[in-house]
Structure 1
Amino acid sequence: MTKVKIPYSREFIPLDIPDKNIEGILESTAHHFKPDEDQESLVKNALENPIDSLLLRELAKGKEKIVLITSDHTRPVPSKITLPILLEEIRKGNPQADITILIATGFHRSTTREEMIDKFGKEIVDHEKIINHDCRDQQQLIKVGILPSGGELWLNKLAMEADLLLSEGFIEPHFFAGFSGGRKSVLPGIAGETTVLSNHCSKFISSKHSRTGSLKENPIHRDMMFAAKKAKLSFILNVVIDNQKKIIHAVAGDSLGAHQAGCQFVEDLASVKAKPADIVITSNGGYPLDQNIYQAVKGMTAAEASSKKDSLIIIAAACNDGHGGQGFYETFRNASGPQEVMEEILKTPMEKTKPDQWESQILARILMEHEVILVSDQCDPQIIKDMHMSYAKSLEEALDIARRKKGKDAKITLIPDGVSVIVKK
């Protein structure tokens, strides 16, 4: 019997699978990577050894307005560790600096005070200037150019008016941008609605280069790089985390050079060979990434990459926040099936891209080839069914359903943390 632990919400679900049924277990070696230093030391050493950049304290000297972009409540960036160190480093070079922490909400809702305290700690929330970016608030935005794709580039005014712009984040495989981190804090992080919609258009999502772990010729990544350059993103601190959300590696420095180094580290650890099977079980890495169905599509793409044409996909995701996007939900609820969703999206031109269309496109792509069973005891089952997926309250129940359809001898591939791997054919 093979025993695995599947991340779910803030815990892990134990699962036992007979050895004879196991086709493969796909895991990032990041989950077993043991760094030589503790988390704080990794961050401090990265800042003391920046890649292609001066020390942050040197960059901060003489700067009046400094804007530090950070991730929102949907990203597991360990800001309770990283933010205090970053703020201390800035103030070493400029004790009187006017620092604004700008939350890169992208296309998401604003981060609440309670979520800020959970993510940043009460000390920072009570004593630092923190602002939520709002991509739909035109008063926050300024047009700064045209993207390589042809879309208009609108970015947060505070960021554009800064004397020094830096960001923190984490690097993991990303299902259409290749990798998270770096330039992504600018686009979509602090970009306007029009810009995000253009960058996430159906043509780009359909590109064979817009896939997990792929940066070369990726049209979405190209736009993001352009946006970061226009924003004059001068310095980044990006970390790599394990399945306990603990820092195992950190890079700092130039927004391009440091990000490339971090991506290479992740690729070396996260690349796994596909093991197509009758049933593929995965997750969205637990909290905070599995708060809604919208985010859970990411984990599904890992299962998709290791599936046969008719494989059945099981994903465990708490989805306590429901669907994660009204438009995303209604697109499926109002359609006869995923084929109708896909046809409608593919005929939508870039300039008419709808909110959350990209997530709908990827989910439709998966559902056109696979039945998906979403496992949750915290989400309304009707929402899941409305979105043309099957529902199960537990992994055991989902497996029973899958075995009835695929047979008791069906082969099973396990991808315990779907957002942490780069599945290669």
Structure 2
Amino acid sequence: MSQDKIDLSFGRGQLTVTLPEGCLPTIVRKAVLPKLADGAGAIRAALDAPIASPSLRDLAKGQRSACILICDITRPVPNALFLRPMIEIMLAAGIPLANITVLVATGLHRPNEGAELEELVGDRWVLDHVRVENHFARDDAAHLDLGNTATRGTPIGIDRRFAEADLRIATGLVEPHFMAGWSGGRKVVAPGVAHHTTIRTFHSARFMEDPLAVQCNLVGNPLHEEQLEIIRRLGDVYALNTVIDEERDLVHVTFGEIIASHLAAVDFISGVTRIAVPRRFKTVVTSSAGYPLDKTYYQTIKGMVTPLDILAPGGTLIIASQCSEGFGSPEFREAQDRLAELGPDRFLATLTAKSLAEIDEWQTEMQLKATRLGLVELYTTGLTDEERRITCVTISADILASITASIARHGDPHVAFIPEGPYVVPVYVPTAGDIAA
């Protein structure tokens, strides 16, 4: 791509943006990580030489049942690389095939079924031989009640299929998360297979408005601390954690005790994901990371929040998201309707007294963090006119025109571009001699 054009992740491909004349771009990307030449071999090595636990082979010996959690379709986890090898090790150790369950950790998202489930699992053998099921957070009878956390009183309800299995393994992708610090590990368990009251407590304003509940931060993060307490309440849980690059290829994998193996993956990726930027910008252009994260407007909000540290107050954040599947859940649509009706201040006031958030209204609350700081413009090809209205952000008909107008409005040609969206976390780190925006 020439220097006068920049590709943003968009749907299953790229959106090419031509730079306005006089634009001075700063492109914010993760450091390039070497791809694993033998991903399958790396998986096997991790399973044989785990972190803070016996090998999977030893863990499976003498067990009668196993449950493997996988992330839902919103995360591009390379499940096809590791599910069958893990299951075959369990079988060789004596766990009956009928007693192995692969459970999709949907949280409060919709189930993944049909062709979408085939894409998610990525291995026909697994689908043909193993029970693959979805978690349903609103099915009360499907959850085991483990009481409440001692620290903040969060109700602990976990899917029985996972909580009661002899061998429990969470699998996932370690990437920045704008509230839990980092995805993967303990987050695949809670909220991944948690009861709706657990999830809605996590999504209440008590957690959402905490200044430490932000991307790439685990220290003092109240959500992370609650997740750790839930894991300890459950007992022995293990995790396989993956890290991928912009092309969705595997660059790192860890396996072992869920907390220790997750932290090892975080240590690996944090230095290349958090990118120091020596100034703030009055114009920031980003994406929703392309497919599958930009399937809905609901997920798009992650891309609005992640770059806020480098957006100058009063600046313009322009985000490109295909929204190929539309808006999101009916509950999220209702929250956005209320935002459009009440306005941001009155909407936020309705949240602060709740101990349980309404389903999916937390994402609307997160959007307010972006719109409080500056102007948000959305370029999309996938929403109806009514859906565009209730986004409550400015709609861009032409991303080049939006960039040009922002430069003129702010009188500043410097523009930050974040092609991979929320998979990259830019952090404002001023240095001597730099000009702050």
Both proteins in one fold, TM over 0.5: yes
Structure 2: which amino acid aligns with 1:152?
P
Q: Secondary structure at the match of 1:384?
A: helix
Q: Which moved more, 1:95-104 or 1:111-120?
A: 95-104
Q: Which runs of 5+ in 2 are unaligned?
A: 429-437
Q: Which moved more, 1:393-402 or 1:42-51?
A: 393-402
Question: Would you say the 8 A contact 1:167–1:233 is kept in 2?
Answer: no
User: Could you tell me how far apart the structure 1 residues matched to 2:375 and 2:238 are?
Assistant: 43
Structure 1 residue 85 displacement after superposition: 2.2
Q: Secondary structure at the match of 2:199?
A: helix
Counterpart of 2:74 in structure 1 is 74
Counterpart of 2:117 in structure 1 is 116
Instruction: Tell me if 1:3 matches 2:9.
Output: no
Q: Secondary structure at the match of 2:153?
A: coil
Structure 2: which amino acid aligns with 1:193?
H
Q: Structure 1 57/394 Cα, relative in aligned 2: closer, same or farther at 3 Å?
A: farther
Structure 2: which amino acid aligns with 1:58?
D
Instruction: Tell me if 1:261 matches 2:264.
Output: yes
Q: Which moved more, 1:375-384 or 1:159-168?
A: 375-384
Question: Would you say the 8 A contact 2:36–2:252 is kept in 1?
Answer: no
User: Could you tell me how far apart the structure 2 residues matched to 1:330 and 1:413 are?
Assistant: 33
Question: Would you say the 8 A contact 1:166–1:233 is kept in 2?
Answer: no
Counterpart of 1:94 in structure 2 is 94
User: Could you tell me how far apart the structure 2 residues matched to 1:253 and 1:20 are?
Assistant: 51
Root-mean-square deviation (CA, aligned residues, Å) is 1.9
Structure 1 residue 22 displacement after superposition: 2.8
Deviation digits for residues 158-217 of structure 1 (CA, Å, limit 9, x no counterpart): 112111111110100100100000001110000000011112210111111101100010
User: Could you tell me how far apart the structure 2 residues matched to 1:327 and 1:160 are?
Assistant: 28
Deviation digits for residues 129-169 of structure 1 (CA, Å, limit 9, x no counterpart): 01111000012112012123112111111112111111110
Instruction: Tell me if 1:153 matches 2:159.
Output: no
Q: How does 1:6-405 map to 2 (within 5 A)?
A: 6-17=8-19, 20-22=22-24, 24-29=26-31, 32-94=32-94, 96-97=96-97, 98-121=99-122, 122-147=124-149, 148-274=151-277, 275-334=279-338, 335-346=341-352, 348-350=353-355, 352-403=356-407, 405=409
User: Could you tell me how far apart the structure 2 residues matched to 1:18 and 1:400 are?
Assistant: 6
Q: How does 1:401-416 map to 2 (within 5 A)?
A: 401-403=405-407, 405-407=409-411, 409-416=412-419
User: Could you tell me how far apart the structure 2 residues matched to 1:269 and 1:336 are?
Assistant: 40
Structure 1: which amino acid aligns with 2:320?
A
Q: Secondary structure at the match of 2:406?
A: helix
Q: Secondary structure at the match of 1:402?
A: helix
Question: Would you say the 8 A contact 1:210–1:219 is kept in 2?
Answer: yes
Question: Would you say the 8 A contact 2:143–2:159 is kept in 1?
Answer: yes
Q: Secondary structure at the match of 1:272?
A: strand
Structure 1 residue 349 displacement after superposition: 2.6
Question: Would you say the 8 A contact 2:154–2:226 is kept in 1?
Answer: no
Structure 1: which amino acid aligns with 2:191?
P
User: Could you tell me how far apart the structure 2 residues matched to 1:242 and 1:205 are?
Assistant: 28
Structure 2: which amino acid aligns with 1:112?
E
Q: Secondary structure at the match of 1:266?
A: helix
Structure 1 residue 18 displacement after superposition: 5.5
User: Could you tell me how far apart the structure 2 residues matched to 1:392 and 1:85 are?
Assistant: 46
Q: Secondary structure at the match of 2:42?
A: helix
Q: Secondary structure at the match of 1:256?
A: helix
Q: Structure 1 23/14 Cα, relative in aligned 2: closer, same or farther at 3 Å?
A: closer
Structure 1 residue 403 displacement after superposition: 4.3
User: Could you tell me how far apart the structure 2 residues matched to 1:405 and 1:243 are?
Assistant: 32
User: Could you tell me how far apart the structure 2 residues matched to 1:380 and 1:238 are?
Assistant: 37
Structure 1 residue 126 displacement after superposition: 2.5
What is the aligned length? 420
Question: Would you say the 8 A contact 2:327–2:333 is kept in 1?
Answer: yes
Structure 1 residue 19 displacement after superposition: 8.4
Give TM-score, length-normalised by structure 1: 0.94
Question: Would you say the 8 A contact 2:112–2:134 is kept in 1?
Answer: yes
Q: Structure 1 394/57 Cα, relative in aligned 2: closer, same or farther at 3 Å?
A: farther
Give TM-score, length-normalised by structure 2: 0.91
Deviation digits for residues 25-81 of structure 1 (CA, Å, limit 9, x no counterpart): 21111xx21135332222222212211111101101111111111111111111122
Structure 2: which amino acid aligns with 1:8?
F
Q: Structure 1 361/233 Cα, relative in aligned 2: closer, same or farther at 3 Å?
A: farther
Deviation digits for residues 371-419 of structure 1 (CA, Å, limit 9, x no counterpart): 2111111222431222211223453343345346445x53211111122
Question: Would you say the 8 A contact 1:171–1:239 is kept in 2?
Answer: yes
User: Could you tell me how far apart the structure 2 residues matched to 1:233 and 1:118 are?
Assistant: 30
Structure 2: which amino acid aligns with 1:340?
R
Q: Which runs of 5+ in 1 are unaligned?
A: none
Structure 2: which amino acid aligns with 1:142?
L
User: Could you tell me how far apart the structure 2 residues matched to 1:201 and 1:258 are?
Assistant: 28
Q: Which moved more, 1:254-263 or 1:380-389?
A: 380-389
User: Could you tell me how far apart the structure 2 residues matched to 1:303 and 1:260 are?
Assistant: 23
